[in-house]
């Protein structure tokens, strides 16, 4: 019996559950470039280039290995433009009697897959995606009966379960977490490691042309694309990171430097999330580097925590809390996303730098996403739905299962404290300490008010004052509220006036 086995753009892994019992002689593997997926939010042009090119390369490799592959190109006149219709059309065209697929990562697409049977008239088997290290059931069991779902405790369980960085049953070095060692600002003479850049081959060049033609109203440009697009190339990226950047990854994990978007980060989220790299191989490569004396513990533990801890944890939260999570809005924030997120001029240098790099590269590192772009969205009271749409569109690694908990939970505290125990809110001092952005800014980071006062400063206090009803009892904010209460009344008034004036200017589209 011929089985149609559709492979989604983020399922480019030979170990995929739906391929395990596939038969090279009778079954058909199906890849589709569909307009509905590429356009349901305006994905960055480099993200679409990455996924189409990686799919085309992978499909080609599978063909060379003797598989029967059908590839629906975006510009194929027969392409119906949606996954559900392509599955039905091609199952009939290729004479398949059954469809077997691996479940998509996000709710929207899972819902659509569940309608495939009805549309195709064929039996459809949907298998769990077991490329993650914690299944949905594992996470549900871990979460059951807990008052708080803190990542740190989940992470420790995962370390024990996968025997990562352990000496016996104890964490290597005696502590589970070395985060406090990982907060160094970058020195002025720091030489960042350049990312491994790949020259587009004929397949990628063709995709760049296609993307430029069909998605020219999407953010960014397909020009300058240099990401890896094959499994072999992504392994080179991993090796490049482990050998050159990992030793300093921990120290400068939170640092931000003008003109240096890549620093010592791994730049592997694009590949992990589309399946070209698998989480355990990255974790094991980092642990090997530590055991072989090639990288220090604070760096290796920090890196492993991001993948074994945060990545698995946010996915668990997503499925535990959907569908309500998508509309969570604890602070009832309603402000529309200002044009500066799309590159409109701003005098706030930190935002200008982080937005500019995001739009250029479809990448920004974690602290830029969290403490500049996210922090501003939180303090300015931007509507979670608009902020989520932006993050989902602009980053090449963005998929709802990972983007939504990071934005709604970590950045906006819109889930009321499921992910974070307090909002990640900060004034200009944090940005000044961790970056050199303030040196070239119109605003003065040390000034708390007035025309040249750094907006992060008064917006921070105003945010806390505005949401005292919701946050006043948070034990982690007690000291901060006491400092606020100690301020002279006229100072507090000035904060409220400066914040109100700034937000009015922002709303009216003025350059802030």
Ligand X SMILES: Cc1cc2nc3c(=O)[nH]c(=O)nc-3n(C[C@H](O)[C@H](O)[C@H](O)COP(=O)(O)OP(=O)(O)OC[C@H]3O[C@@H](n4cnc5c(N)ncnc54)[C@H](O)[C@@H]3O)c2cc1C
Q: Nearer to ligand SF4 by C-beta: 206 or 258?
A: 258
List the one residue out of 371, 366, 424, 426 whose CA is nearest residue 395: 366
Describe the crossing of helices 455-466 and 489-507 by its angle, rounded to 10 degrees: 100
Q: Are 16 and 112 in contact (CB under 8 A)?
A: no
Residue 432 as a binder of ligand SF4 (CB under 6 A): the answer is: yes
Binding mask 440-459 for ligand SF4 (x = CB under 6 A): -x-x-x--------xxx---
Structure tokens at 351: 């935002």
Q: Nearer to ligand X by C-beta: 268 or 340?
A: 268
Q: Nearer to ligand X by C-beta: 101 or 377?
A: 377
Residue 13 as a binder of ligand SF4 (CB under 6 A): the answer is: no
CA dist list (Å): 61 to 14, 69, 200, 232, 290? 11, 10, 17, 11, 34
Among 48, 186, 272, 299, binds ligand X (CB under 6 A): 272
Kindly state the smallest distance separating residue 437's Cβ from ligand SF4, in Å: 4
Residue 367 as a binder of ligand SF4 (CB under 6 A): the answer is: no
Residue 371 as a binder of ligand SF4 (CB under 6 A): the answer is: no
Please measure the distance between the N-terminal and C-terminal CA atoms of the chain and give it in whole angstroms.
64
Structure tokens at 336: 């529309």
Q: How many residues bind ligand X (CB under 6 A)?
A: 28
Kindly state the smallest distance separating residue 121's Cβ from ligand X, in Å: 36
Residue 463 as a binder of ligand SF4 (CB under 6 A): the answer is: no
Q: Nearer to ligand SF4 by C-beta: 17 or 348?
A: 348
Edge-first strand listing for the sheet containing 98-102: 68-72, 28-32, 3-6, 98-102, 124-127
Residue 375 as a binder of ligand SF4 (CB under 6 A): the answer is: no
Alpha carbons 306 and 304: distance in angstroms, whole number: 5
332 Cβ partners below 8 Å, 6+ apart? none
Site for ligand SF4 in 320-349 (CB under 6 A): 348-349
Site for ligand SF4 in 260-319 (CB under 6 A): none
Alpha carbons 153 and 170: distance in angstroms, whole number: 14
Q: Are 302 and 182 in contact (CB under 8 A)?
A: yes
Among 438, 471, 503, 506, binds ligand SF4 (CB under 6 A): 438
Which region among 228-236, 309-317, 433-441, 474-482 touches ligand SF4 (by CB under 6 A)? 433-441
Kindly state the smallest distance separating residue 474's Cβ from ligand SF4, in Å: 24
Q: What, of ligand SF4, ligand X, none, does residue 310 touch, CB below 5 to 8 Å by kind?
A: ligand X
Binding mask 384-423 for ligand SF4 (x = CB under 6 A): ----------------------------------------
Per DSSP, the residues of 470-495 read HHTT-GGGHHHHHHHHHS-HHHHHHH
Site for ligand X in 445-504 (CB under 6 A): none
Structure tokens at 431: 């940005």
Structure tokens at 43: 């994905």
Structure tokens at 455: 């907006």
Residue 395 as a binder of ligand X (CB under 6 A): the answer is: yes
Burial class, 259, CB count within 10 angstroms (exposed 0-12 / middle 13-18 / buried 19+): exposed
Kindly state the smallest distance separating residue 80's Cβ from ligand X, in Å: 28
475 Cβ partners below 8 Å, 6+ apart? none
Q: Is the dihedral of CA 85, 390, 477, 257 positive or negative?
A: positive
Structure tokens at 179: 């985060």
Site for ligand X in 289-348 (CB under 6 A): 303, 306-307, 310-311, 314
Among 86, 129, 301, 397, binds ligand X (CB under 6 A): 397
Among 162, 225, 437, 461, binds ligand SF4 (CB under 6 A): 437
Q: Which residues bind ligand X (CB under 6 A)?
A: 265-269, 272-273, 303, 306-307, 310-311, 314, 365-366, 369-370, 374, 391, 395, 397-398, 402-403, 406-407, 410-411
Q: Which residues bind ligand SF4 (CB under 6 A)?
A: 348-350, 428, 431-432, 437-438, 441, 443, 445, 454-456
């Amino acid at each position: 019996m011929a089985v149609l086995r559709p492979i989604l753009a983020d399922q480019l892994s030979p170990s995929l559950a739906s391929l395990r019992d596939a038969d090279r002689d009778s079954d058909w593997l199906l890849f589709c470039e569909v307009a509905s997926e590429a356009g349901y939010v305006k994905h960055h042009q480099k993200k679409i280039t990455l996924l189409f090119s990686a799919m085309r390369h992978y499909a080609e490799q599978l063909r060379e290995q003797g598989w029967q592959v059908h590839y629906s190109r975006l510009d194929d006149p027969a392409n119906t433009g949606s996954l559900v219709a392509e599955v039905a059309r091609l199952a009939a065209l290729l004479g398949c009697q059954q469809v077997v697929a691996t479940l998509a990562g996000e709710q929207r697409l899972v819902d659509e897959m569940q309608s495939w049977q009805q549309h195709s008239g064929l039996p459809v088997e949907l298998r769990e995606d077991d490329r993650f290290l914690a299944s949905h059931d594992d996470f549900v069991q871990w979460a059951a009966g807990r008052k708080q779902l803190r990542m740190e405790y989940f992470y420790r369980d995962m370390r024990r379960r996968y025997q990562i960085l352990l000496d016996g049953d104890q964490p290597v070095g005696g502590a589970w977490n070395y985060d406090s060692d990982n907060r160094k600002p970058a020195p002025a003479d720091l030489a960042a490691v350049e990312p491994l850049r790949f020259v587009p081959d004929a397949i990628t060049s063709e995709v760049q042309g296609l993307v430029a033609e069909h998605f020219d109203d999407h953010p960014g440009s397909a020009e300058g694309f240099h990401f890896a697009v094959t499994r072999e190339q992504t392994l080179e990226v991993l090796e490049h990171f482990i050998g050159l950047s990992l030793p300093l990854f921990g120290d400068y994990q939170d640092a931000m430097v003008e003109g240096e978007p890549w620093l010592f980060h791994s730049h592997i989220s694009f590949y992990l999330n589309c399946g070209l790299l698998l989480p355990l191989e990255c974790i094991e490569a980092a642990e090997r580097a530590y055991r072989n004396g090639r990288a220090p513990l604070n760096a290796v533990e920090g890196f492993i925590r991001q993948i074994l801890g945060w990545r698995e944890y946010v996915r668990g939260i997503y499925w535990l809390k959907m569908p309500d999570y998508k509309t969570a809005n604890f602070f009832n924030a309603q402000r529309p996303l200002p044009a500066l997120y799309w590159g409109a001029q701003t005098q706030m240098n930190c935002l200008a730098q982080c937005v500019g790099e995001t739009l250029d590269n479809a990448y920004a590192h974690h602290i830029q996403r969290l403490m500049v772009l996210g922090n501003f969205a939180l303090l300015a009271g931007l509507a979670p739905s608009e902020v989520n749409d932006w993050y989902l569109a602009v980053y090449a690694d963005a998929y709802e299962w990972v983007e939504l908990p990071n934005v709604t939970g970590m950045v906006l505290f819109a889930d009321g404290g499921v992910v974070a125990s307090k909002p990640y809110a900060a004034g200009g001092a944090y940005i000044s300490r961790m970056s050199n952005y303030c040196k070239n800014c119109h605003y003065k980071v040390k000034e708390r008010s007035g025309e040249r006062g750094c907006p992060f400063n008064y917006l921070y206090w105003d945010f806390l004052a505005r949401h005292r009803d919701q946050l006043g009892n948070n034990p982690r904010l007690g000291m901060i509220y006491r400092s606020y209460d100690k301020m002279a009344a006229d100072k507090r008034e000035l904060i409220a006036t400066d914040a109100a004036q700034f937000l009015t200017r922002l709303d009216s589209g003025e350059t802030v």
